[in-house]
């Protein structure tokens, strides 16, 4: 008797009576839908299906036997999965795929199909064994998750775009405000300078000049702030360096030698204006008093930083200033009070000859 006829025997087996092949009986009775196909016959037809398969698909055995498995496919079945399946069968390989299949009544189910070849002792494929599992719930749950993931991603994208637009608007606004501050500072400076030119009284003119220098110092602070990448920090070291060359340069004094030992020294931007004004007072005072009446000399700037504090020391080698005269000037009181505001300390000391002013202040996060 031919081997493939065995299946007909198995089919006819009265498993209730427990006779015949116990494995075949188990396959027939399992809840797992299963089919066996015969690749030796034309179009690899189904030669066996169990009851579970009939229940899953809604077809009777007569309607199933003799047909190729593709009769379960329909319009929504993914052609690329079908191609995968066909190639595996052609190559005689096992395959595990999820495939959308159709029942007799037209309803669909997701079929977790496992198909494997069964070879004889000579290695010739005699049958394909296929088990099916209805995984519609799992696939649909996965699809819902995927759909929701896409929705969430879209929403995140939309919100990100909103936030980016809001940030752009804020940046534009900040630049606009910046621009207006710059324009106003420039105009205030220009107005003061134009006014100074009309004043004949030298003492009044020199007081206005001092005002002008203060406005200029504020303008330089602002310019350095808006040009820096981090608007919360201010490099008082590079500010001091450019202010020294500006102040001495604009005095037109080539007989004042500069000794600058500077480095980057970052302070909280909130204190930038106060510290900038302090340095301006010290430097302009030096040029006016220490090097008065054409007296030449040396002006030195030293910027140092420790772990959590910074020091700026400005020294001249002029005649020095009596402390009584110093205490009366607006410059000195500006220095003292602005220093307090910036949590800094200003101390005057003798430079033998000349005066040193030392500003000690807390440094931001020691970022030098």
Answer for the pair 262, 303: CB distance below 8 angstroms, yes or no.
Answer: yes
Residues 52, 286: Cα–Cα separation, whole Å: 103
Interacting residue with other proteins among 4, 103, 126, 182 (CB under 8 A)? 182
Query: What residues between 49 and 88 interact with other proteins by CB under 8 A?
Result: none
Six-digit token pair at 129? 């064994």
Residue 156 beta carbon to other proteins: minimum distance, rounded to whole angstroms = 32
Residue 278 touches other proteins, criterion: CB under 8 A: no
Q: Count CB atoms within 10 A of the CB of residue 46.
A: 21
- SS3 of 168, please? helix
Residues 268, 232: Cα–Cα separation, whole Å: 6
Q: Residues binding other proteins: what is the number (CB under 8 A)?
A: 29
Residue 296 touches other proteins, criterion: CB under 8 A: no
Closer residue to other proteins (CB): 124 or 191: 191
Distances (CA, A) of 317 to 255, 256, 329, 336: 13, 10, 20, 22
Closer residue to other proteins (CB): 286 or 351: 286
Residue 245 beta carbon to other proteins: minimum distance, rounded to whole angstroms = 6
Residue 227 touches other proteins, criterion: CB under 8 A: yes
Stretch that binds other proteins, among 125-133, 147-155, 214-222, 228-236 (CB under 8 A): 214-222
Interacting residue with other proteins among 246, 264, 311, 358 (CB under 8 A)? 246
Residue 186 touches other proteins, criterion: CB under 8 A: yes
Residues 159, 153: Cα–Cα separation, whole Å: 10
Residues 142, 136: Cα–Cα separation, whole Å: 10
Residue 249 touches other proteins, criterion: CB under 8 A: yes
Query: What residues between 250 and 269 interact with other proteins by CB under 8 A?
Result: 250, 252
Q: Count CB atoms within 10 A of the CB of residue 126.
A: 15
**Burial level of 360, CB count in 10 A (0-12/13-18/19+)?**
middle
Nearest to 244 by CA among 331, 335, 312: 312
Stretch that binds other proteins, among 75-83, 125-133, 176-184, 333-341 (CB under 8 A): 176-184
Closer residue to other proteins (CB): 216 or 317: 216
* Residues at the interface with other proteins (CB under 8 A): 179, 182-183, 185-187, 189-191, 193-194, 197, 212-213, 216-217, 219-220, 222-223, 227, 241-242, 245-247, 249-250, 252
């Amino acid at each position: 008797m031919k081997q493939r006829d065995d299946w007909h025997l198995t089919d006819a087996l009265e498993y209730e009576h427990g006779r015949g092949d116990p494995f075949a009986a188990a396959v027939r009775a399992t809840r797992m839908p299963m089919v066996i196909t015969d690749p030796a016959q034309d179009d690899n037809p189904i030669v066996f299906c169990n009851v579970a398969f009939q229940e899953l698909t809604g077809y009777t055995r007569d309607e199933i036997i003799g047909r190729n498995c593709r009769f379960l496919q329909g319009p929504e079945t993914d052609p690329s999965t079908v191609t995968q399946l066909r190639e595996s069968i052609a190559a005689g390989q096992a395959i595990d795929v999820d495939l959308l299949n159709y029942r007799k009544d037209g309803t669909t189910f997701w079929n977790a199909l496992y198909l494997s070849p069964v070879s004889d002792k000579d290695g010739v494929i005699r049958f394909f064994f296929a088990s099916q599992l209805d995984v519609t719930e799992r696939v649909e749950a996965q699809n819902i998750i995927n759909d929701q993931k896409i929705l969430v991603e879209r929403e995140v994208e939309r919100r990100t775009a909103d936030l980016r637009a809001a940030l752009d608007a804020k940046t534009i606004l900040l630049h606009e405000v910046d621009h207006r501050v710059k324009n106003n500072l420039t105009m205030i400076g220009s107005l003061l300078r134009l006014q100074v030119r009309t004043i004949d009284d030298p003492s009044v003119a020199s007081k206005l000049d001092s005002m002008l220098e203060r406005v200029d110092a504020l303008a330089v602070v602002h310019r350095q702030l808006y040009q820096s990448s981090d608007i919360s920090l201010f490099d008082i070291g590079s500010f001091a360096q450019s202010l020294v060359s500006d102040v001495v340069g604009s005095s037109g004094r080539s007989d004042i030698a500069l000794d600058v030992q500077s480095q980057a020294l970052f302070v909280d931007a909130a204190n930038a204006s106060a510290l900038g004004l302090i340095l301006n007072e010290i430097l302009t005072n030096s040029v006016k008093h220490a090097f008065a009446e054409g007296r030449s000399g040396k002006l030195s700037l030293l910027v140092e930083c420790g772990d959590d504090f910074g020091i700026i020391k400005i020294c001249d080698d002029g005649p020095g200033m009596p402390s009584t005269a110093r205490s009366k000037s607006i410059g000195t009181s500006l220095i003292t009070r602005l220093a307090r505001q910036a949590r800094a300390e200003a101390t005057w000391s003798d430079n033998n000859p000349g005066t040193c002013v030392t500003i000690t202040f807390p440094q931001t996060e020691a970022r030098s």
